[in-house]
Amino acid sequence: MSATSARPSPAAQPSGSAFILKKALISALVALVLFSLMIGIRTEAGPQGGLIYWTRFGDLAALVGTVFGGSIIVELLRQWWGPVDKDSIVPKPVQSAISFAGRWLAPALLMFALLVPVIFYNQRYILDLSILVLTYVMLGWGLNVVVGLAGLLDLGYVAFYAVGAYSYALLATNFGLSFWVCLPLAGILAAFWGVLLGFPVLRLRGDYLAIVTLAFGEIIRLVIINWQSLTGGPNGVSGIPRPTMFGIPLTPGDDGLAARLGIEFSPTHRLVFLFYLILAMALLTNWVTIRLRRLPIGRAWEALREDEVACRALGINTTTTKLTAFATGAMFGGFAGAFFATRQGFISPESFTFQESALVLAIVVLGGMGSQLGVALAALAMIGGFELFRGFDQYRMLVFGIAMVLLMIWRPRGLIGHRAPTVFLERNQAISSDLVKEGHG
């Protein structure tokens, strides 16, 4: 039977207005059940302590109607596209334009990032938001080593973030060490804890691995809360030293950087320095990750992600492969944690909850596991998008959920998801007859 005859004809697939209306009605019914108590009825504690409520059936009807109409549009688009190839959907000129834009997107984003402090020098909010986005970009690239390259589902990545932050905070406040001395120490300590996590989970995969890593993240948080003599417990650690320009403080005093350069001091100088510092750390993380992917250990990570059994059959030591993935990702998380501590000047256990791990994992999945550019775009969209919808507190998470569902439908591998091998043969090569049992190449 040929491939053409094996493909089901459009007539054999469910279609027609009755089918579309049925699916739209089911979707609207599900939306009505889900949002009846979330949107239709609002409850609050009254002034006398009693429970008061009011209805918002108009908003509920609008939301259900939107789901009904959106379901009809989605089904019409699916039947319009049909079971055809991608090339027939997107014209060749459009494909060429997208490919050309993709090649120049990363350099354009890098140039824009370098010019952000220049363009928005007088806008502190934009600078603070940019620093936050770059912090999550670095966290996403660190987790991408574990999840995207090695295929190990880690739900406790925030633990390494916390280890790096508390390592820098305790070393700087108790021993008076500078940021530049504590930064590599925080990364080393986080990598050490990554190896400790890796040993118990060497035989675990999938959901079981995710549960153990989730428990590890919660254990670290509970230890931080209860070990009050060392970490300060729920009160956290305050008075964390700010970073210096290689020993020169960014303060208004006579020994500050502004006085030595002979310019007027501005609090924005410290923000600009922090921005370029986290940008340099993120770019270093990206460069190291790209280089590691082309080394044998990077190819071993990708082989482990694709098939662990085949990886063992090829003679790859899966123990060291998993441990190096955990240690490398944890090291980058520790670097980001040290920067977070010096930027905030205060840290507490509330900053390292499971929600942070879920957010970083969502950034990696949204951008595309294994894609460096996709993770950066996802961090920009999620962190910056949350700020855009800050005025809509009641609908912000709803919009985020709808966006994730749409992404799962049209881009199941992420914004820029790909699994292209890092090493491949550009042309066919004959094998020597001495290496082949049949006696010919």
Question: For tokens 């294994």, what's the residue?
Answer: 370
Query: Where a domain ends, among 389, 408, 436?
Result: 389
In this predicted structure, what is the pLDDT of residue 7? 47
Angle between helices 396-410 and 372-388 (to 10 degrees): 150
| 115 vs 19, more confident | 115
Q: Does some domain include residue 301?
A: yes
Whether the predicted pLDDT of 4 surpasses 50? no
Structure tokens at 378: 């996802």
Q: At what angle do helices 372-388 and 92-119 cross, to 10 degrees?
A: 60
Mean pLDDT rounded to a whole number for the chain:
81
- CB of 130 closer than 8 Å to CB of 275: yes
* 346-347 and 237-238 beta bridge pairing: antiparallel
CA 42 – CA 421 distance, rounded (Å): 52
Instruction: Provide the β-strand partners of residue 52.
Output: 44
Q: Does any domain span residue 406?
A: no
Is 90 a residue whose pLDDT tops 60?
A: no
Query: Which of 131, 214, 194, 150 is closest to 326 using CA atoms?
Result: 194
In a domain, 309, yes or no: yes
Answer whether residue 3 is part of any domain: no
Specify the 3-state DSSP secondary structure of 370: coil
Task: Please say whether the beta carbons of 340 and 161 come within 8 A.
Answer: yes
Residue 218 sits in a domain whose CATH number is: 1.10.3470
Q: What DSSP state is assigned to residue 347?
A: E
Does the residue 428 lie in any domain? no
Q: Which of residues 76 and 433 earns the better pLDDT score?
A: 76
| Separation in Å, CA 227 to CA 119, 158, 219, 379 | 45, 18, 12, 33
Find where tokens 């998470």 sit. Answer: 397
Assess whether 60 and 142 both reside in one domain: no
Residues 50 and 192 in one domain: no
Q: Which of 372, 398, 373 is nearest to 385 (CA)?
A: 398
Residues 414/365, Cβ–Cβ less than 8 Å: yes
Determine if the pTM surpasses 0.85. no
Phi/psi at 42 (nearest 5 deg)? -115, 130
Q: What is the DSSP string of 111-178?
A: HHHHHHHHHTTT-HHHHHHHHHHHHHHHHHHHHHIIIIIS----S-THHHHHHHHHHHHHHHHHH---
**Has residue 127 got a pLDDT over 50?**
yes
- Per the structure, the complete domain to which residue 296 belongs is given by 117-389
CB 160, CB 337: distance < 8 Å: yes
Q: How many domains does the chain have?
A: 2
Burial of 225 (0-12, 13-18, 19+ CB in 10 A): middle
Q: Is the pLDDT confidence value at 440 over 60?
A: no
pLDDT at position 400 is 74
CA–CA gap between residue 29 and residue 25 (Å, rounded): 6
Judge whether residue 344 has pLDDT over 80.
yes
- The pLDDT of 362-379, averaged and rounded, is 86
Question: Does 432 reside within a domain?
Answer: no
Q: What are phi and psi of 267, to 5 degrees?
A: -60, -20
Mean of the pLDDT values across residues 248-275? 81
- The verdict on 57 and 129 lying in the same domain is no
Opening angle at CA 391, ends 387 and 395, nearest 5: 95
Q: Do 404 and 149 meet the contact criterion of CB atoms below 8 Å apart?
A: no
Cα–Cα distance, 175 to 22 (Å, whole number): 68
Band the pLDDT of 432: cuts 50, 70, 90: low
Q: Specify the pairing of strand 41-45 against strand 51-55.
A: antiparallel
Query: Does 223 share its domain with 324?
Result: yes
What does the CA dihedral 148, 152, 155, 157 come to, rounded to 10 degrees? -70
Q: Are residues 284 and 360 in the same domain?
A: yes
**87: confidence class by pLDDT, cuts 50, 70, 90:** very low
425: in domain: no
Which amino acid belongs to residue 192?
F
Number of other residues whose CB lies within 10 A of the CB of residue 175: 9
- pLDDT, position 56: 80
The distance of Cα 300 from the centroid of its chain, to the nearest Å, equals 22
- 8 A C-beta contact, residue 269 and residue 258: yes
Task: Say if residue 122 is in the same domain as residue 74.
Answer: no
Contacts of residue 374, Cβ cutoff 8 Å, sequence gap at least 6: 366, 367, 368, 414, 415, 416, 417
Same domain, 310 and 375: yes
Residues paired with 238 in a beta bridge: 346
Helix (H, G, I), strand (E, B) or coil at 21: helix
Q: Are residues 62 and 155 in the same domain?
A: no
- Judgement on whether residues 133 and 48 belong to the same structural domain of the protein: no
Q: Is residue 403 part of a domain?
A: no
- The neighbour count for residue 297, using CB atoms within 10 Å, is 17
pLDDT tens for each residue of 20-58? 888 888 888 888 888 887 777 777 776 776 777 778 888
Q: In the structure, what pLDDT confidence band is assigned to residue 12 with cuts at 50, 70 and 90?
A: very low
| Residue 360 contacts residue 143 (beta carbons within 8 Å) | yes
Shared domain for 44 and 127, answered yes or no, is: no
